[in-house]
Structure 1
Amino acid sequence: MFTEFFYYLRNFGVPVSMNEWQSLMDALEMDMAGSSLTGFYYLCRALLVKTEAHYDRFDLAFASYMGDLESPEGLPDKIWDWLNKELPPQEITDAMRQNHNQLDIEEMKRMLEERLAEQNEEHHGGNRWVGTGGTSPFGHSGYHPGGIRIGGNTRNLSAVKVAGMRRFQEFRTDETLGVRQFQLALRKLRQFTTRLDGARQELDLDATVDQTCQNAGRLELVWARPRVNSMKVLLFMDAGGSMLSYSRLCNQLFTAVNKSNHFKDLKNFYFHNCIYDRLYHDPSCRGSDYTDTEHVLRTCDSDYRIIIVGDASMGPSELMRVGGIIDWDLHNEQPAIDWLKRIRQHFEYSVWLNPLPAKYWEWVEGAFTIRTIGQVFPMEELTVEGLERAIAKLKSRSAVGEGTKVAKR
């Protein structure tokens, strides 16, 4: 029962386990949903959703699964003409509440199909047809516990409408990042040094307690050398062109990275479309304010963590050909793909963050270059979850050339 709903949840990214699904089946068998669509919604959410971050995904899956009950595409145009008439609020009495039992999901589906097949005129009030007011389970501005609102504005929220409102969208972790979210994610990019160097200026509480106990209660403070983050970061950011659409997002990342004062060293560079023999100090990527890419490879050791931000979308010649650089007055002796491979080989801890949603990577105009670059660098979508996955890769040594298989999402 509801097996299709299980796959809906999985497809929308809700990580439902078989144990949780079996718990739901057991709860339904014990009638814990009360034969109510609203009860079914809240029971499912309570048993299947592990974190608030997945509330929005659950709502989308629920609304999609129940979509044939409320979707405009599934209703004849004449039904919508009849429903485009607002009524004043209806007074709901205790007797009305007692006289209307909530219906189960399959019964509601069957009833709605019958109504749509039989109804040939608009209805306002009443308790059977699709319309406004009254106590029919289908329509709007009336009353029926667990009824399906079609059109209008909600008066008594049904479960499908609760889902459709997407109240929990702000809890998602795959939404585009803000400055604070960047900062929180970047805090995970730490690698503390051992306590071998520096002055002993940090109070060691555990050692102090142990030493005081050994002294029969006489306080003895024990000091230790502080642990510092040894992480060094190089940030390469695409600027201009197709990246203008993501300029606000890139500004947020730049702000967050530069406010992160826990890195041992941080260097920022810019490029346009792809990395060639110059890395610029300014987003305009013009003039003589640049550092040779060769110099960066020579002077920065392989322990640097490389974060490259760009949509990876360009003409194939820009990536693959000598002289493919788009700037009129510049010429590259090495194809951009060779520079990228050299960077990847030198800096094994490296990732590519793409602000373009992953679901478009396979069919946008620059799909070839996205796929090619994804075979050189591990590529992640520029979202909270994507950045967290990228940071995990920056903390472990990945095989050179392993890259990322750009898949449809």
Structure 2
Amino acid sequence: MYTNFFYALRREGIPVSITEWMTLMEALSVGLAESSLSGFYYLARAILVKSESHFDQYDLAFQTYFQGMETPEQLLDQVSQWMENPLPPKMFSEEERNELLKKLGLPDWESLKAALEERLRTQDGAHHGGGNWIGTGGTSPFGHSGFHPGGVRIGGESYGQSAVKVATERNYRDYRSDETLGVRQFEVALRKLRQFSTRLDGVKDQLDLEDTIDETCKNAGRLKLVWTRPRKNSVKVIVLMDVGGSMTPYANICSQLFSAVHKSSHFKDLKFYYFHNCLYDLLYLDASNNPKKAVKTEDILRSLNSDYKVIIIGDAAMAPSELMMSDGNIYWGIGNEEPGITWLERVAKKFPYNVWLNPLPEKYWERVHGSQTLKIVRDMFPMFELTLEGLDRAIKKLMVRK
């Protein structure tokens, strides 16, 4: 059943396994989808999709496979006719028939039609809200964009959200692995750095549940508690962000990333600095790149230990002179005795755990204006796209030295 849907998911890049698919079949066999397409949508997604970054691909596959499975007009007519006399009269008395209709919750079709005809005769204009006239919003049984458990939609779009409609909206496009990050996604990705946590010296005052179970089993079922030291995150991070110039189109996401990074409370230490196009003698404390709010790059290199993990965010696209020449800094009145490439090399050497995140899609890296400098920077730093997938790869890279 739904075998082609399995292949539709695989074509969209969702890593669905046969085991998961058989689990879905088992869930369907016991009625967990409740004979509803909406129920199937959520049930299948819960079982088959292991990461929120695949939600949008799931919606696309669902939309493609189930597109067109909406009630045809002919069936609507048949349902309308059936509702006028849904039960064979010979099987039930009139009293039994009415009682069963009441239990089934079916609307009184004749009353609905009569009420609609009355509204059409008496209504003389548009109406929004309320519970009586034909219009939008509200709880009237006639109109659209409102709510009524047994109403008739007239015009507009359904707000009841059938499964195909939900999928079509693509509410999860921002979670795709090839979409640029936002605040929430970056926060989630940064939390993955907690995998570098380690147990430090200290009092063993935290119950080790797994070892307790193991030792209790070895002890013939008699409880044996095992205590351990609490896990503390020892990760220290430096974030360097390019602002201004060719990064202006990414100003919004830079602001989001700033918010996400500063919301991160699970690092032992976090340093955040700004630069423009390339690193020089100064690093700035805010996005204005005001020299009065700056620190010397040399001081940072000298004062911080090499166990900091460095994340640099920028497009690496600049004039070759900005990267390769002394006085290449384009800010008026601010020179640099040593070229930017020298400072980048020092950072890469001092902090061997480093990555570069580029908001520019990788397919443009070799033909964008500034591709020459971008290539040079790529040779010094492992570079990844600023997407969920790119950040996942970057964090894995931060686990090992360059």
Q: Output the TM-score relative to the length of structure 1.
A: 0.58
State which drifts further: 330-339 or 361-370: 361-370
1:313 pairs with 2:317: yes
Q: In structure 1, what is the equivalent of residue 208 of structure 2? A: 204
Deviation, 1:59, is 7.3
Alignment of 1:62-73 (within 5 A): none
Code of the residue aligned with 2:384 in structure 1: it is E
Q: In structure 2, what is the equivalent of residue 379 of structure 1? A: 383
- Equivalent in 266, 283, 288 of residue 287 of structure 2: 283
Code of the residue aligned with 1:263 in structure 2: it is F
Deviations 1:169-213 (A, max 9, x none): 344232222222111111111212234x12333233345567778
Code of the residue aligned with 1:371 in structure 2: it is K
Unpaired segments ≥5 residues, structure 1:
1-7, 21-41, 65-88, 96-152, 399-409
Q: In structure 2, what is the equivalent of residue 225 of structure 1? A: 229
- Equivalent in 248, 254, 258 of residue 252 of structure 2: 248
Cα distance change, pair 56–192 in 1 and its aligned pair in 2 (3 A): closer
Deviation, 1:165, is 6.5
What fraction of aligned residue pairs are identical, expressed as a percent?
53
In 2, Cα distance between equivalents of 1:214 and 1:315: 67
Code of the residue aligned with 2:239 in structure 1: it is L
1:397 pairs with 2:386: no
Alignment of 1:122-201 (within 5 A): 169-190=173-194, 191-195=196-200, 197-201=201-205
Q: In structure 2, what is the equivalent of residue 339 of structure 1? A: 343
Q: In structure 2, what is the equivalent of residue 113 of structure 1? A: none
Report the 3-state secondary structure (helix = DSSP H, G, I; strand = E; otherwise coil) of the residue aligned with 2:192: coil
1:14 pairs with 2:13: yes
In 1, Cα distance between equivalents of 2:18 and 2:212: 46
In 2, Cα distance between equivalents of 1:215 and 1:168: 49
1:362 pairs with 2:361: no
Deviations 1:125-159 (A, max 9, x none): xxxxxxxxxxxxxxxxxxxxxxxxxxxx999xxxx
Q: Output the TM-score relative to the length of structure 2.
A: 0.59
Count of equivalent residues: 299
State which drifts further: 185-194 or 204-213: 204-213
Code of the residue aligned with 2:13 in structure 1: it is V
Cα distance change, pair 56–264 in 1 and its aligned pair in 2 (3 A): closer
Alignment of 1:107-122 (within 5 A): none
- Equivalent in 329, 333, 338 of residue 333 of structure 2: 329
Say whether the 8 Å CA contact 1:354–1:380 is kept in structure 2. yes
**Greater helix percent: which structure?**
2
Q: In structure 2, what is the equivalent of residue 295 of structure 1? A: 299
Deviation, 1:336, is 0.9
Deviations 1:363-407 (A, max 9, x none): 222222222211211111111111111111111222xxxxxxxxx
